[in-house]
Amino acid sequence: MPARSVLLALLVAVLWGGNFIALKLATQAFPPIFMAAMRFACVAALMLPFVKVPTRAMLPGILAVSFTLGGLHFGPMFTGLSRVEAATGAILSQLSVPFSALLATLLFKERLGLRQVAGIALAFAGVALLAGAPGTASDPLGIGLIVIGAACWAVANGVIKHFGPFDPLMLTGWMALFAAPQLLAVSLLVEHGQWQAVREADAAGWAAVSYIVLAAGVVGYTLWYSLLNLHPVSRIVPFALLPPVIAVFLAIPLLHEPLTWNLAVGGLLTVAGVGLCELDLRRLVSVRPRRRG
């Protein structure tokens, strides 16, 4: 890829890695499900004026995505992230990839090769080590919620594949519109102190929300979709493995989180397992630069 595209892909990885730091700060200032509702409301307000209106036939699919991805994924994921370290949460969230591989075999009859099976085993071995880390072992609920959120991400991918294809930006904007009230309703049922949090949030809390919506959300995904349109997927996907690694290194100085051997080894196993699930190494090696005339 040209140097400019490589730098943009690295920028996306940094933005998404920093997103876990911002999420940790934001969920300390706001109830986590309410935070997810705010995120989707802001994304909808920013994107809907610039994306096309879906047809009536697309609405059932978009509603299904808003429920599985918006409600079932982001609700547990944000709640889990509020209960564990940012670095641990970033690594655990990568379980969405092996879950997607497993779901594809069940729903779409896709066959798992030896590489994918080994990757799934490595990823879950890494999670087992992370679950035994001193800082997270006392809160298995947080770990469990992130694992549930990762599984629901895989379900949402299956829903998108079943109802799609969709225009990515249109889906993002309209799904956000439908997901926001769902999450707000759940927040009002199971959380408290939402309006007090809005009144009392400091500059750091609002800055974290702005980062989540603008930097990681709008800017990050716009750049990512643009890179996917310009280059083969096999060239872009490896950069998606970097955010959890970046989150670990950012969490140590910014949030003063410890780098334990459980985190280091468990994180390495998880990321390596995800890489085996997601990447075809032989295909990556065989890719040749495209000639430009």
What's residue 291's pLDDT?
A: 41
Q: Lowest-confidence range among 6-15, 142-151, 162-171, 272-281?
A: 272-281
173 lies in which domain range?
3-286
Taking each continuous run of H as one helix and of E as one strand, the counts in the chain are 17, 0
More confident residue, 287 or 262: 262
Query: Can you give the length of the chain in residues?
Result: 293
Question: Does residue 136 form part of some domain?
Answer: yes
Question: Does residue 244 form part of some domain?
Answer: yes
What's residue 278's pLDDT?
A: 65
Kindly state the DSSP code that residue 108 receives in the 8-state scheme.
S
Question: Does residue 258 form part of some domain?
Answer: yes
Question: Does residue 291 form part of some domain?
Answer: no
Q: What is the distance between the alpha carbons of residues 20 and 245, in angstroms, rounded to a whole number?
A: 11
Contacts of 36 (CB under 8 A, 6+ apart): 70, 74, 75, 78, 183
pLDDT in tens, 162-213: 887 888 889 889 999 999 999 999 999 999 999 999 999 999 999 999 999 9
pTM: 0.81
What's residue 43's pLDDT?
A: 92
pLDDT band (50, 70, 90) for residue 286: very low
Question: Does residue 90 form part of some domain?
Answer: yes
Side-chain half-sphere of 18: how many Cα atoms within 13 Å?
19
Q: How many domains does the chain have?
A: 1
Question: Does residue 9 form part of some domain?
Answer: yes
Burial code (b: 16+ CB inside 10 Å, e: under 16) for 36-48 equals bbbbbbbbbeebe
Question: Does residue 293 form part of some domain?
Answer: no
What's residue 131's pLDDT?
A: 65
Contacts of 272 (CB under 8 A, 6+ apart): 119, 122, 126
- Six-digit token pair at 258? 């410890």
Question: Does residue 292 form part of some domain?
Answer: no
Answer yes or no: are the C-beta atoms of 152 and 72 closer than 8 Å. yes
What is the pLDDT averaged over residues 47-57? 92
What is the pLDDT averaged over residues 20-31? 93
**Alpha helices by DSSP H, 109-202:** 114-131, 134-137, 140-163, 168-190, 194-200
